[in-house]
């Protein structure tokens, strides 16, 4: 606990706190539902569910497999709104308060653009999507709590990065204060603002495509549920009892969860757009590339950045791009990995649920997220 940053540094992260948050966030694939989830089993005993176990069990206290009778459930729409709105609110707060604290009058245009893309996604995810759905299953309070933690941590990393913090993608670092009292890079030069735009432009196209595909897929599922309710002559208050399997047409021709795939595409595009993000000023706190040494007077020795084994190869590939001179979008990379590793098991077990409820013939050999792959 002594290593935990003070509350004020968590609300408006320092460079050292930013590195600590990145260190924590990149290891979230090791736990399920974006975090370590506590849930009640059928015997009402409290247990831990790790990501490995998530691949072995289809039980999750949300969505189709929610605990319908748990006293700790939260109404679906309210719970979903609460856990998703944290991200954009926290990001806006940090980008409002942190730049003035760093004596920054205005962030670079590309930094603002990336922030807008993040906010656009969460306006749909936190407000439009849940309140336009026919119904939402109850969500266990522990899922909401840990989802809030996830979105706060993710938005803190992204906002700190957009505010100008940069971090060297090597195992260790040391920050060296300048005479002005501001930490600056010990080796890294300030990125050239005229770096190639190929990756950011490609990323923007992918982001827009992913967002449109995600929204269209979800709205298709909402429409199918409403149509089925009308066929069964059920009122709108009973949409929660209606489950349908999407016909094998359009985006659902070969997979059952195109909205998951498009969200992954969306965040991949977001990360590529983020290759254009720049530190706002030459004296912004940057994390240098020198090996750590014993801190002397006036030196603030932070925790070393250590890339997770699954992040390292991605960083190595992106470092080959000319855009790498602008600094790698490490928070975006970590977010994409976390999103895929969290949602993939849900899709896999969701396919199994469809088979059990509607039969393999209705599923038609479609995969969850990989075309015609029955296992995935």
Residue from 110, 88, 294, 311 nearest 199 by CA: 110
Residue 97 has pLDDT above 80, yes or no: yes
Q: Which of 340, 335, 331, 338 is nearest to 159 (CA)?
A: 331
DSSP H or E segment with residue 160: helix 141-162
Q: Determine phi and psi for 82, rounding to 5 degrees.
A: -60, -40
Domain ranges of the chain: 7-32+48-172+196-283+319-363
The tens digit of pLDDT for each residue in 242-268 reads 788 999 999 999 999 999 999 999 999
Backbone dihedral angles phi then psi of residue 184, each to the nearest 5 degrees: -135, 165
Residue 142 predicted with pLDDT over 80: yes
> First CA to last CA across the chain, in angstroms?
40
pLDDT for position 44 = 37
Closest CA to 61 of 44, 78, 81: 44
CA count, 13 A, side-chain hemisphere, 158: 32
**Separation between Cα atoms, residue 116 and residue 121, nearest integer Å:** 9
Over residues 152-172, the mean pLDDT reads: 78
Cα–Cα dist 174/49, whole Å: 36
pLDDT score, position 324: 56
Q: How many whole angstroms from its chain centre is CA 37? A: 17
Nearest to 22 by CA among 33, 13, 11, 31: 13
C-alpha 101: how far from its chain's center? Answer: 27
Residues 186, 153, 335: CA angle, nearest 5 degrees = 80
Residue 66 has which token pair?
């929610």
Q: pLDDT tens for residues 264-287?
A: 999 999 999 998 888 654 333 344
């Amino acid at each position: 606990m002594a290593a935990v940053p003070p509350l004020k540094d968590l609300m408006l992260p320092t460079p050292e706190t930013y590195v600590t948050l990145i260190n924590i966030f990149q290891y979230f694939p090791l736990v399920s539902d974006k975090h370590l989830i506590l849930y009640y089993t059928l015997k009402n005993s409290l247990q831990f569910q790790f990501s490995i176990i998530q691949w072995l069990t289809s039980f999750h206290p949300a969505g189709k497999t929610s605990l319908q009778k748990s006293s700790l459930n939260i109404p679906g729409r309210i719970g979903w709104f609460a856990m998703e709105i944290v991200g954009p609110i926290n990001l806006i707060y940090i980008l409002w308060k942190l730049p003035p604290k760093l004596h920054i009058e205005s962030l670079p245009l590309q930094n603002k653009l990336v922030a807008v893309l993040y906010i656009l996604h969460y306006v749909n995810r936190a407000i439009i999507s849940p309140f336009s759905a026919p119904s939402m299953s109850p969500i266990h309070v522990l899922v909401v709590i840990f989802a809030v933690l996830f979105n706060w941590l993710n938005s803190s990393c992204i906002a700190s990065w957009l505010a100008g913090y940069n971090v060297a993608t090597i195992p260790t670092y040391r920050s060296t204060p300048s005479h002005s009292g501001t930490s600056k890079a010990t080796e890294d030069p300030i990125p050239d603002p005229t770096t190639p735009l190929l990756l950011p432009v490609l990323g923007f196209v992918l982001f827009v495509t992913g967002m449109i595909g995600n929204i269209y897929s979800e709205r298709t599922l909402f429409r199918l549920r409403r149509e089925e309710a009308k066929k069964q002559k059920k009122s709108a208050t009973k949409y929660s009892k209606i489950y349908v399997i999407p016909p094998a047409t359009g985006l659902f021709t070969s997979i059952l969860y195109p909205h998951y795939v498009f969200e992954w595409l969306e965040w991949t595009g977001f990360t590529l757009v983020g290759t254009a993000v720049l530190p706002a000023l030459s004296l912004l706190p940057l994390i240098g590339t020198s090996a750590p040494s014993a801190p002397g007077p006036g030196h603030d020795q932070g925790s070393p950045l250590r890339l997770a084994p699954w992040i390292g190869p991605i960083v190595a590939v992106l470092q080959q791009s000319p855009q790498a001179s602008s600094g790698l979008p490490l928070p975006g990379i970590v977010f994409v990995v976390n999103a895929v590793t969290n949602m993939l098991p849900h899709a896999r077990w969701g396919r199994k649920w469809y088979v059990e409820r509607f039969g393999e013939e209705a599923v038609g050999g479609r995969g969850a997220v990989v075309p015609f792959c029955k296992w995935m």
